[in-house]
C-alpha cells in the first residue's frame, strides 16, 4: 500500500491563515472579485504542496462540507453526522438514502485523479460525453470556466446541483493544474445564485471561491496538526496492521472499525481505534456506544 503520511519532522508547518485583505471586505465588482479569488487560489496552490497537510483527508473532509451544502439544495436537513452514518454504516448493496448518495458522489469524486472515466463512475447517471464536454470548458480564467459549467449543466439538468458543482470544482482544479478536485466553489454558492447567468453567475462564483478558501485554509492547518499528532503515536502502536490503519485515517474523513477488517480482526480493529482515541490521535465522531465512527 502506498504510504501517504505527511512528513512532520523535516520542516516547520507553513500553513498560515488566509491573508485578511483577500476576504476582509465584500468583492463588489467582477474585477475585484476575480483578483481576490485568484489570490486565494494561489494561496491554496501553495498549501496543496505542503507535505505536512494530509491531502486526501483534506479533500475528503471538504467533500463532506460540500455534500452538506448540496443536501441543503435538495431541501433536506441531514448534517455531517447523518451523512457519515449513511455512507459508512450502510450495508454493502443497500442504498444509503438520498443524502448519503450525495455524500458518496462527492467522496468518490475527490478520491482519485480527475478524468472522464473516474467522474463518470463517481456520479451516477452522468454520461461520459457530458463529463468530457465540461472538462474541456473554455473561459478567460479558471473560475469563469467553472461558472460556465454550472450554467451548462443546470440548463440540461435543472435538479442537477450536485453534478453541476462537482464538475465545476473539477474544472476549477484542472484549470489551475491540479490532479484532484478540492471542493471550493461548492462551499460558497447559495441556491438562488445557481440560477444566475453570465456576469452575475461569474461574480457569485468568484465570491464562492473566497468562501471556500476561507474554510479550506484553516482546515488544512488543523489537519496538519492532527496528522502530526497521529504520526507521533505510531511507535506506541503494537497491533499488527497498525501502519496500514494509520494510512487510512490520513486518507478518509471517517472510518468504522470494519474498514480495517481487510488486514486485522474485528476485535483488534476496535481496540486499535479506542487506543488511538486514548492517545489523543483520533476522535470518536458519533458520541455513541455502538456503531462508532472514528476520524483524525
Question: What tens digit of pLDDT does each residue of 189-244 get?
Answer: 999 999 999 999 999 999 999 999 999 999 999 999 999 999 999 999 999 999 99
pLDDT at 193: 97
What pLDDT does residue 16 have? 84
Give the dihedral sign, CA 242/251/263/292. positive
In angstroms, rounded to a whole number, what is the distance separating the alpha carbons of residues 134 and 6? 33
In the three-class reduction of DSSP (H, G, I as helix; E, B as strand; rest coil), residue 69 is classed as helix
In 10 A of CB 127, how many CB atoms? 11
pLDDT over 90 (residue 251):
yes
pLDDT surpassing 60 at residue 91: yes
Confidence of residue 149 (pLDDT cuts 50, 70, 90): very high
Please state the three-class secondary structure of 173-236 as a single string: HHHCCCCCCCCCHHHHCCHHHHHCCHHHHHHHHHHHHHHHHHHHHHHHHHHHHHHHHHHHHHHH
Confidence of residue 14 (pLDDT cuts 50, 70, 90): low
pLDDT of 5 reads: 55
Grid cell listed for 141: 480564467
Please determine, for residue 288, whether its predicted confidence score (pLDDT) is greater than 70.
yes
| Average pLDDT of the residues in 35-50 | 94
The residues spanned by each domain of the chain are 28-224, 237-295
Q: Which of 258, 266, 214 is nearest to 20 (CA)?
A: 214
pLDDT tens-digit series, residues 92-106? 889 999 999 999 999
What is the rounded average pLDDT of the residues 25-51?
A: 92
Alpha carbon 294 to its chain centroid, in Å, reads 17
| Vertex 83: Cα angle to 81 and 84 (nearest 5) | 65
Instruction: Inform me whether the pLDDT recorded for 2 exceeds 50.
Output: no
pTM over 0.85: yes
Note the Cα 144 to chain centre separation in Å: 21
**pLDDT tier, 3 (very low <50, low <70, confident <90, very high otherwise):** low
Residue 280: left (phi > 0), alpha (psi -120 to 50), or beta?
A: left
pLDDT exceeds cutoff 90 at 24: no
> For residue 77, what pLDDT is reported?
86
Q: Taking residues 51-66, report their average pLDDT.
A: 97
Residue 4, judged by CB atoms within 10 A of its CB (0-12, 13-18, 19+), counts as: middle
- Is the pLDDT reported for residue 173 higher than 90? yes
pLDDT digit string, tens, across residues 255-284: 999 999 999 999 999 999 999 999 999 999
Instruction: Describe the crossing of helices 55-73 and 97-111 by its angle, rounded to 10 degrees.
Output: 150
Query: Rounded mean pLDDT of 127-141?
Result: 95
- What mean pLDDT, rounded, does the chain reach? 93
- Quick check: 164 and 105 in contact, CB under 8 A? no
Structure confidence at residue 1 as a pLDDT band (50, 70, 90): very low
Is the pLDDT reported for residue 9 higher than 80? no
CATH architecture of the domain covering 237-295: Orthogonal Bundle (1.10)
Q: Confidence band (pLDDT; 50, 70, 90) for 124?
A: confident
Amino acid at each position: 500500500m502506498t504510504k501517504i503520511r505527511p512528513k512532520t519532522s523535516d520542516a516547520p508547518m507553513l500553513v498560515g491563515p488566509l491573508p485578511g485583505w483577500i476576504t476582509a471586505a465584500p468583492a463588489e465588482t467582477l474585477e475585484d472579485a476575480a483578483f481576490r479569488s485568484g489570490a486565494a487560489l494561489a494561496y491554496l496552490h501553495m498549501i496543496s504542496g505542503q507535505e505536512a497537510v494530509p491531502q486526501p483527508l483534506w479533500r475528503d473532509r471538504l467533500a463532506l462540507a460540500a455534500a452538506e451544502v448540496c443536501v441543503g439544495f435538495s431541501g433536506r436537513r441531514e448534517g455531517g453526522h447523518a451523512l457519515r452514518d449513511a455512507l459508512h454504516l450502510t450495508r454493502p448493496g443497500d442504498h444509503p438514502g438520498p443524502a448519503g448518495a450525495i455524500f458518496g458522489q462527492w467522496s468518490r469524486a475527490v478520491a482519485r485523479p480527475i478524468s472522464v472515466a473516474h467522474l463518470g463512475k463517481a456520479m451516477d447517471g452522468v454520461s461520459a460525453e457530458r463529463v468530457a464536454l465540461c472538462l474541456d470548458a473554455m473561459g478567460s480564467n479558471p473560475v469563469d470556466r467553472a461558472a460556465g459549467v454550472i450554467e451548462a449543466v443546470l440548463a440540461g439538468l435543472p435538479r442537477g446541483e450536485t453534478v453541476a458543482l462537482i464538475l465545476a470544482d473539477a474544472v476549477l482544479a484542472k484549470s489551475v493544474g491540479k490532479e484532484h478536485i478540492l471542493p471550493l466553489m461548492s462551499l460558497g454558492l447559495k441556491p438562488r445564485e445557481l440560477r444566475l447567468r453570465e456576469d452575475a453567475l461569474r461574480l457569485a462564483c468568484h465570491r464562492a471561491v473566497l468562501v471556500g478558501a476561507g474554510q479550506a485554509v484553516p482546515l488544512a492547518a488543523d489537519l496538519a496538526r492532527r496528522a502530526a499528532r497521529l504520526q507521533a503515536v505510531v511507535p506506541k502502536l503494537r497491533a499488527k496492521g497498525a501502519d496500514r490503519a494509520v494510512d487510512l485515517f490520513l486518507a478518509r474523513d471517517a472510518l468504522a472499525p470494519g474498514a480495517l477488517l481487510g488486514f486485522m480482526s474485528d476485535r483488534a480493529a476496535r481496540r486499535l481505534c479506542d487506543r488511538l482515541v486514548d492517545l489523543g490521535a483520533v476522535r470518536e465522531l458519533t458520541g455513541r456506544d455502538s456503531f462508532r465512527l472514528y476520524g483524525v
